[in-house]
Amino acid sequence: MRKWVAASLVAGGAMAAEAAPDNSLRPAQRPGLLEQEVQGEAIQLAAATAMRPAARPAAAIQEPELAAADLNFQGWIKAFRSRAKAQGVSAPVLDSAFAGVSYDTEVIRRDRNQSEFTKTIWDYLDSAASELRVKNGKAALQAQRARLDQIEATYGVEKEIVVAVWGLESSYGTFRGKMDVIRSLATLAFDGRRGAFFEGQLVAALKILQAGDVAARKMTGSWAGAMGHTQFIPTSYLDYAVDFTGDGKRDIWSDNPADALASTAAYLKKFGWVKGQPWGVEVALPNGFDYTLADREIEKLPADWAALGVEGLDGHPVADHGPAAILLPAGSTGAAFMIFGNFAVLERYNTADAYVIGVGHLADRIKGGAPIQGSWPRSDRALTLSEREEMQQRLTRAGFDTEGIDGKIGPKTIGAVRAYQVAKGLTPDGYASPRLLENLR
């Protein structure tokens, strides 16, 4: 399940749509995942569930070009067969998997499209934990309650968290992806831009077919190979999927979500989920709070944070769930969270802060919790990719090295922003905002 696209949908209120599939289990935004729109009527999340902005159209491939590309693609498949056989894939499986498979220009178009514009975290959360999504999540939990109770008892992962992942990954099963996974992965492996990664996923997909869990043409998913109710990629499926129904197959594709939901719980448990510990708690910061303490590397017990004036929204110290850090996803003028170890576990599913907060907050709402109370700097807009790159360039030139110019606002860039803010006497909250870019200019 997981990640293969490590970008950072993160901080500075802006979330990047770049993909870099080398993370592991589920992309830190998997390509194609957050741009899904709901197709079904049963869970009516409509186009508002699209978690990523529409990408720029790529130039269409002309017919002669397509014929040449497909000819080369068929030659690549012949060469690939020997590599797959060397890794234990049988000839009959290869024959079945590649029967009628052709080069897919739509997959390439989607792979090439990297959105220049991104969502702010508040826009993302407005959709991720909308009233309709919460309502549908409660309905989905109720419909699957018996299974989810069993899954929670087996793996020690709260049912609401599992349902929230399901809700963000496939809108509670209403959009699981309909593209032929073998065709998509073969096209991407042949394309070569990230060929080694996708060839590894293709071999894993073939081993899934060889195990008999699903037939080749029924192995469907997103354009980049994420599959089923909770969008596993093939290597993660091989490592973490479970047969919860006991029918001898790890079936994450069918209308019955039991195996997919159990696999998600098994995955989270594998990476250290602690039952009863919140992912995070919204908190109120005192006047005069030292914003340099809002750093993922600085952890204190809730009682120690309370001694510094950090309290729950009820005015009382947060319960002691273990060491915690303070997270300000939109800087000093946005909501503040005290985050615990389970936050990092959810990051193993998707590294974007916005995604983790979205899953955690949706789970809280499904359980009956209140909406986020803190305000957001809604007058701000998200920085474009070129603006994020410009910010990194200007910070680095000013002596605050971001250790790379990639347009991703991750920990190193946030650290550089904070160092710059300290040097200039600004609030050191690490928020990469349009105002900060203007200041740099």
**113-135 pLDDT per residue, tens:** 755 668 899 999 999 999 999 99
Tell me, what's the pLDDT at 112? 83
CB contact set of 86 (below 8 Å; sequence gap of 6+): none
Q: What percent of the chain clears pLDDT 70, i.e. is strictly above it?
A: 85
The residues near 210 (Cβ < 8 Å, ≥ 6 apart) are 88, 89, 90, 93
What's the length of the chain?
A: 441
> How far, in Å, CA of 202 to CA of 138, rounded?
36
Residue ranges of the chain with per-residue pLDDT less than 70: 1-64, 114-117
Number of H helices, E strands in the chain: 17, 6
Helical ranges in 277-376 per DSSP H: 302-307, 341-347, 353-366
> In this structure, what token pair is assigned to residue 371?
């909406």
Contact 66, 117 (CB under 8 A): no
User: In this predicted structure, what is the pLDDT of residue 8?
Assistant: 30
Amino acid at 336: A
Residue 394 to residues 47, 63, 330, 400, 405: CA-CA distances in angstroms?
Answer: 37, 44, 21, 9, 10
CATH of 63-112+177-270, one of 1.10.8.350, 3.40.640.10, 3.40.190.10, 3.40.50.1220: 1.10.8.350
DSSP-derived 3-state class of residue 91: helix
Q: How far apart are CA 407 and CA 390, in angstroms?
A: 8
The string of pLDDT tens digits covering residues 349-392 is: 888 899 999 999 999 999 999 999 999 999 999 999 999 999 99
The 3-state DSSP composition of the chain as helix, strand, coil percent (nearest 5) reads: 45, 5, 50
The pTM score is: 0.84
Instruction: Tell me, rounded to whole angstroms, the distance of Cα 198 from its chain centroid.
Output: 18
Let me know: does 371 contact 365? Beta carbons within 8 Å: yes
CA distance 70 to 64: 10
Rg (CA), the chain: 22
What is residue 381's DSSP assignment? Answer: -
Residues 6+ positions from 17 with CB-CB distance below 8 Å: 7, 9, 29, 34, 52, 53, 55, 114, 115, 118
Alpha-carbon distances of 139 from 22, 144, 264, rounded to whole Å: 35, 9, 19
* CA neighbours closer than 13 Å in the CB half-sphere of residue 149: 4
Q: What token pair was written down for 359?
A: 């899953």
Q: Where in the chain is the domain with CATH 1.10.8.350?
A: 63-112+177-270
d(CA 261, CA 139): 15
